[in-house]
Each structure stands twice: as C-alpha cells, then as structure tokens.
Copies of this chain bind each other. A is one copy, B any other.
Amino acid sequence: MRNINNSKLRIIPLGGLEQIGMNITAFEFEDSIVVVDCGLSFPEDDMLGIDLVIPDVSYLKENIQKVKGFVITHGHEDHIGALPYVLKDINVPIYATKLTIGLIEHKLKEHNMLNHVKRKVIQHGQSINLGAFRIEFIKTNHSIVDASALAIYSPAGIVVHTGDFKVDYTPVFGDAIDLQRFGEIGKKGVLALMCDSTNAERPGFTMSEKTVGKVFDDIMSDHKNSRIIIATFASNVDRVQQIINSAYKYGRKVVIEGRSMVNVISTASELGYLNIPDKTLIDIEQMKNYPDDQVVLITTGSQGESMAALSRIAANIHKKVQIKPGDTVVFSSKAIPGNEKAVSRVINELSMKGADVIFQDAHVSGHACQEEIKLIYSLVRPKYAIPVHGEYRHLKAQADVARSLGIPKENIFILSSGDVLELNADNAKVVDHVHTGGILVDGLGVGDVGNIVLRDRQHLAEDGIMIVVMTLEKYSNQLLAGPDIVSRGFVYVRESEDLMEEARAVVNDAVNNCLEKGVTDWGKLKNVIKDALSDFIWKKTKRNPMILPIIMEV
C-alpha cells in the first residue's frame, strides 16, 4: 500500500510575488491542483499603452486534467481580475463567498461568459472537497466585505492562507475575523502559513473601519452648510455604508457616481451587504432638486485616475456636477504608490475652484500591520512561514516578523513566482521552477504586445520617429522618387525647416553615394541611411529619434 506520508504538497505561486497584484497560487498534491485567486495587475510605468497584465498560466494548461477549481479569497481586481481571461483556457468551477461570486459574475457577464462557467457560493465555516484537498473558508476582515482566509487540508498537512486581511474587532458589516477558528486549526498543527505582507513594514495595529465612520460624522457636523463630495475606492462597501449612515443622520440624500462604484454598490445592495434607509439614495439627475446642504455625492476617482468621475468634476468636464466655492471634497483613501502626483493634481484643481479639500484622516488600511501579523502567527503556529502579497520589501519585512516570533530562518520561504515549494511535515524545499510571467492586455489583444513592441513605444515616446521613403527602379536601381523625410513626435517641422532641409541633404548624399557604389542590398542601404541620419541628428540636437527607412521598388 502506498504511504501517503511520503507524498508531498507542492505550492507554486504563479504570480503575486515581487509585486502588488496578479495573485494566483497553485496547490498541487499528486493528481489534484487547486488554484487560489486569479488576479490581474496594473501596468508598470514603462508598459506604454498597456491596459492590464494577467498571469501566464502555462503550468496550469500543461496540467489541466489535474485542475479541480479556483478558490477565491475576495473580490478585489488583483484577486479576481484575470478570471475571464484565464477561464478561456482553464474552465473549472469557481468557489467563493456570496459577494465575491456576485462581483465575478458581473465580470463574466461583461465577457459574455456567464453561461459557460460553473461557480458556487461558499459560506464562512463551510468546506469543499476538491480532489485530494479539502478547503475551508474562514471569516476575515478586509477593505471589501466577505473576505476569506483558507484552510487548505492536504494529506501532507494543513496550509493556512490568509488572503488579504486585517483584524477588525468592530467591523461595519457582519462578524469580526474568526480568530477562534484560526486558533482551533492551529491546535491541530499547521504545516505552513501564507500570510498577507502588504503592511508588514508598519508597526502596530490597523485601526477599525468603524473609526472612519466617526470622521464622516465630524465632517458632516463641521460642514453643515456645504455640499459634500466624498471619493473612495469603488469596492469598499463598508466605507460607502458608513457615508450613507452619516448622511442619513445629518439629513442628507446620497448620490453614487462613477461606473465601477455603481456596479459594486448595486451588486452589494442586491445581495444584502448594504443597508440603505428608504429614500436616502437619489439619482444624480435629482441632485439639482436638493439644496447643497442636503446632499452627499459618493464618487470614484480617489486615485486621481484621469477618466474617473472626481477627476472629471475637478477638471470641469463632468456633465452633471460642477464644483462651487464652498463645496467640501473628502478623499476617503490614500494614494496608492505611483498615483501621488495625479491625486495632487486633482486636489489642486478642486482647491482652485474654491472647494475645501480634506485628504487626511478619512481612511484606514484594509491590511494587517505587524501586531496583527504576529497575532495570526501566534494562533496558527505554523511550521513553515511563506509570506505572500507584496513586493519583496514587504515579504522580507514579514519574514523578519516571523523570525522575531521564533520561526527558524530555514523554515521561512520568500518565494519567487514560479518556484515549486515541496513540503511535508519533515521537510520543505524549492525543488523546481515553472514558467510564469505577465501577459500584457492592450485593447482586445492578449499577449500580442511583447518586449519588442514596448521597446519601440518607449523609443517613439522619447524622441519620435523619422521615416525616410524613396522609390527605386528595379534592376537599374535608379532613384525615381525621394528620399523624403516624414517625422512625427520629433520636432515641430514648421519651426525647424532648416534642420529638416539639412537632414534631407545628408540622406540624399548617403543614398547617392551607395547607389553610385553599386550597392543593391537594400538592408545595407537602409543601415547606411540610418547611420548617416542618426549621426547628423544626434550632433545637431542630442536626440535619438527612431529612424525608419522604407524603400519601394517599381
């Protein structure tokens, strides 16, 4: 008889390490694979023109017969956003809590996939069997309701995966994180803990979401006479609930604006995650029928995203809302790294129009700080620690926390995407590395923009392009037309006529020189043109536009 104790669990992160976003991890035991989360990430600054990035799931495709399902911890884009793309290749059932499934269904609808994908709502405390695995959903708190940690039971041992979480003893909706269950499972003996690292650099405790509610009360009481506009994350249902509560208390109607917020709020509302007093919510069209001091507008755009409602309001290009002196605008958010300047631009624009802008104190994080991470480690007491969710610096910070709790260095694994960690009670080791990576999505194209295209876009962005065209006679190689130079993104031609004229002369000389020498290799001729023109342009301007010679034969 086979001794299953010799078999090992394999944990294979296919994304989500080395960066914020694109969370997806495969758990493999013999013939079974379950996949936890399937998120997207947003493009880095040098990914010009790219809309989003999804994980390369080649490993899952190669092992498709093993894959039993997707288990999703919560409904944020970095955990569900790649599903519509990945499901095209890996169409297996999805398991998640009610709101999470609701948000996934909205996504599937947009991609016309709703009827082709199986999905099942799981309640906290409930378990599902998937091949060799049993997966238990455990209640946690996060900046979106219905978030779950997972206890992943395998023949090689139990892995606890926190998902994104914080410890909120006084949540706005539903129960606090089920610390008892973490303790109970810990008592059984846990092989490995995979814990959220996002805030692992921060000492202390993350404040309860409820503290933000008090801030809203204060703001409404301090700004009784002004219209109040509050920008926050579209998916933060609890935050919206608290704004609605304060608005109701101070006799204000509430307007929701911004496509993604309307989506999430209507899904959350239909599923019973929001408690909106009758006649509190009004349509944006009705806003004009109420005096300023009886309205609160909740909107997207807290990150300064140029197309979001608040940015359009600030720039005076929103069709239905104009800023007036005396308006109070609250950022119930903090700037995600990379968005600071965009947020600041919106704050400046609002201030210039006379709005009173409040951008501090009306936000708390959704992620656990160091003391909460210590709490979870102390309840779970894992043999191995595998920090997840974060850039390397965050994973490292959690590793330091784990070490401070007495977990030996050799039992802490800072993995890279693609690492295959094989483990059981005796041993844990990275034994292999599978192919992973980000696939760029640009418009409808998935993966058709790669490094060469991106490098070209960067080159074009930096200094523009100069196109050299000419027509040659086949056989005789006589120059029939051109060489002409057309440029875009290089200089404003009307103001640089001399430069362009000289450039044309340089190219002309180079071409004639080549043709006189009897060069018939157009590749060679193109290189001569490139070299001559780029030398000339660099000398004159210290710039390096892309140079593209095109030769037509007649």
Contact = CB atoms under 8 A, between A and B. Distances in A.
Given A344-B393, A461-B48, A552-B481, A448 B495 contact: yes
B460 A464 contact: yes
Interface string A10-23: 00000000100000
A187 interface: no
A393 B464 contact: no
A542 B441 CA distance: 11
A492 B442 CA distance: 12
Contacts of A457: 460-462, 464, 489
B541 A445 contact: yes
Interface size class of A (residues with CB under 8 A): 35 or more
Interface in A419-468: 442-445, 448-450, 452-454, 456-465, 467
A386 to B, nearest CB: 17
A477 to B, nearest CB: 14
A446 to B, nearest CB: 11
A484 B492 CA distance: 26
Interface stretch (A115-123, A257-265, A543-551): A543-551
A1 interface: no
Nearest to A540: B444
Interface in A516-554: 540-543, 546, 548, 550, 552-554
A456 to B, nearest CB: 4
A396 B351 contact: yes
A338 B340 contact: yes
A492 B450 contact: yes
Contacts of A45: 341
A114 interface: no
Given A341-B338, A467-B548, A347 B460 contact: no
Among A340, A445, A495, max chain B CB count under 10 A is at A445
A469 interface: yes
Given A341-B337, A393-B347, A464 B546 contact: no
A149 B49 CA distance: 46
A307 interface: no
Q: Is the interface of A mostly helix, strand, loop or mixed?
A: mixed
A441 to B, nearest CB: 10
Nearest to A360: B201
Given A393-B344, A464-B453, A540-B444, A554 B480 contact: yes
A444 B541 contact: yes
Contacts of A392: 348, 351-352
Given A393-B348, A552-B482, A448 B492 contact: yes
Interface string A314-357: 00000000000000000000000110110010011001100001
A231 to B, nearest CB: 15
Given A344-B391, A393-B351, A548 B488 contact: yes
B462 A49 contact: yes
Nearest to A396: B351
A297 B97 CA distance: 53
A486 interface: yes
A496 interface: yes
A543 B341 contact: no
A353 to B, nearest CB: 10
A340 B392 CA distance: 15
Contacts of A344: 337, 391, 393
A491 interface: yes
Nearest to A18: B348
Contacts of A462: 48-49, 457
A274 to B, nearest CB: 33
Given A341-B45, A348-B393, A444-B540, A492 B460 contact: no
Given A18-B348, A49-B463, 16 more contacts: A45-B341, A49-B543, A338-B341, A344-B391, A443-B541, A445-B491, A453-B491, A459-B489, A460-B460, A460-B465, A471-B471, A481-B552, A481-B554, A484-B552, A486-B550, A552-B552
23 contacts: A45-B341, A351-B393, A448-B492, A450-B492, A452-B492, A453-B490, A456-B488, A457-B462, A457-B464, A457-B489, A458-B461, A460-B460, A460-B464, A460-B465, A460-B488, A461-B461, A465-B465, A467-B548, A469-B469, A470-B552, A481-B552, A481-B554, A550-B550
Interface of A: 18, 44-45, 48-49, 337-338, 340-341, 344, 347-348, 351-352, 357, 391-393, 396, 442-445, 448-450, 452-454, 456-465, 467, 469-471, 480-482, 484, 486, 488-492, 495-496, 540-543, 546, 548, 550, 552-554
